Amino acid sequence: MLTWMQDLPNFTAYGTPTYFIYLLVALLPLGIGLYFGKRFSWYEALVSFVFIFLMFDGQSYQQAFSLVAYIIYQTVIVTSYFHYRQKQNVSAIFYLAVLLSLLPIIIVKFSPAMFGHNSLLGFLGISYLTFRAAGTIIETRDGVVKDLNWWKFVRFMAFMPTITSGPIDRYRRFAKDYQQVPSREKYLDLVAKAVPYLFIGFVYEFVIDYFFGQLWYPFMVKQALLSAPHLSWWVVGVAYTYAGHLYFNFAGYSFFAVAISYLMGVQTPMNFNKPFLAKNIKEFWNRWHMTLSFWFRDYIFMRFVFMATKKKWFKNRNVLSSVAYMLNMMVMGFWHGVTWYYILYGFMHGLALVVNDWWLRYKRKHFKIKSTKWTKFVAGFITFNFVVLSFLVFCGFLDKLWFVVPGHH
């Protein structure tokens, strides 16, 4: 019955130069409209529908149905809560709405661990859409979302440039951006920024990551597995090449997403800001996958701190912040998936944030170390290598090295 969908060509978002040719040609009328102060909303919706369809057809056709059902489900929950919130504000209803919004991602993340296979509810990008939906409910509870209907919410959720891998936008910011058509000068400035972002994305994704992701990382993995289950120097190579692959692949994608958003007249927030130059782990998280990091900071860390302070759960402010760090990063670990390496990754970063705060307090009290180029280099060196070690845990390679039956790698 659905063989026609399976036989259609499938275009991974930003996966090939051909994809960009089709996309830029399709967006040209939209850009001309924005240049003259008009936003062709229905044409944009049509282009978005076509390209989202092409991402989820072919062998991914089952994901297309999951995506449609998911957006309908979230739209019903979010718009219902918005209308409810205009009249009442009972905490139990708010928590129920958030839980219902998170339920699909909870099922998807726990299914492999509980049932041994992936859930049919899953599709590429479900995590990022869940952050958008749950964040909208939280902003609605806070009273900052003043205007929301089903079409505006669907437009936000299904914004084509960022649908599969972010960056994670906020409804209030997106809606304000979308409603205010940029002036000609502003739009030309966005286009001027988009062009180098596209170039950087191409270099990251198709040149640098070709070496890291397709040549060096697979080679290091192959060599390291020859010594399984023992550690070898090849494992160090796995760690550093995976870190390079993860960064250039993800940052390249993010540059593409931001650039295409700019061409569509929407200033999607940046996701990376030279994270490997960070001098401590807190600075790293202010530079790495920033839209995810800030989402967790605003909606989990800060709210936990506020609630714990209000209810006086902790007498010591430092203990409170330490517990909040651990909670925040452990939730992030579980969000990636219910496996020992994702959970350990979250634990490592939570502990690193706690240690970082402790060290800053200790140093301030007992040492008078001046900040110099040398101290900054040492701090950056330690931070970078800790992050690389955590990525080695995160990538799941150690699970293959230690726990997969020899001969079945």
User: Mind listing the pLDDT tens digit of every residue in the chain (409 residues)?
Assistant: 456 556 666 678 888 888 899 999 999 999 999 999 999 999 999 999 999 988 887 677 788 889 999 999 999 999 999 999 999 999 999 999 999 999 999 999 888 877 777 777 888 889 999 999 999 999 999 999 999 999 999 999 999 999 988 899 999 999 999 888 999 999 999 999 999 999 999 999 999 999 999 999 999 999 999 988 888 999 999 999 999 999 999 999 999 999 999 999 999 999 999 999 999 999 999 999 999 999 999 999 999 999 999 999 999 999 999 999 999 999 999 999 889 999 999 999 999 999 999 998 988 888 777 888 999 999 999 999 999 999 999 999 999 999 875 554 4
408 catalytic residue (yes or no): no
Query: For tokens 């302070």, what's the residue?
Result: 309
Amino acid symbol at 16 = T
Residue 126 near residue 118, CB atoms below 8 Å: no
DSSP secondary structure code for residue 166 in this structure: -
Give residue 1's pLDDT: 47
Give the number of C-alpha atoms closer than 13 A to the C-alpha of residue 152, restricted to the C-beta side: 19
Tell me the per-residue pLDDT of 151-200, one tens digit each, with 9 for 90 and over: 999 999 999 999 988 899 999 999 999 888 999 999 999 999 999 999 99
Task: For 129, list phi and psi in degrees, rounded to 5.
Answer: -70, -35
DSSP 73-107: HHHHHHHHHHHHHTT---HHHHHHHHHHHHHHHHH
Give residue 112's pLDDT: 80
Of 245, 336, 366, 408, catalytic = 336
User: Residue 275: which residues within 8 A CB-CB, separation 6 or more?
Assistant: 247, 284, 287, 288, 387
pTM to 2 decimals?
Answer: 0.92
Give residue 409's pLDDT: 45
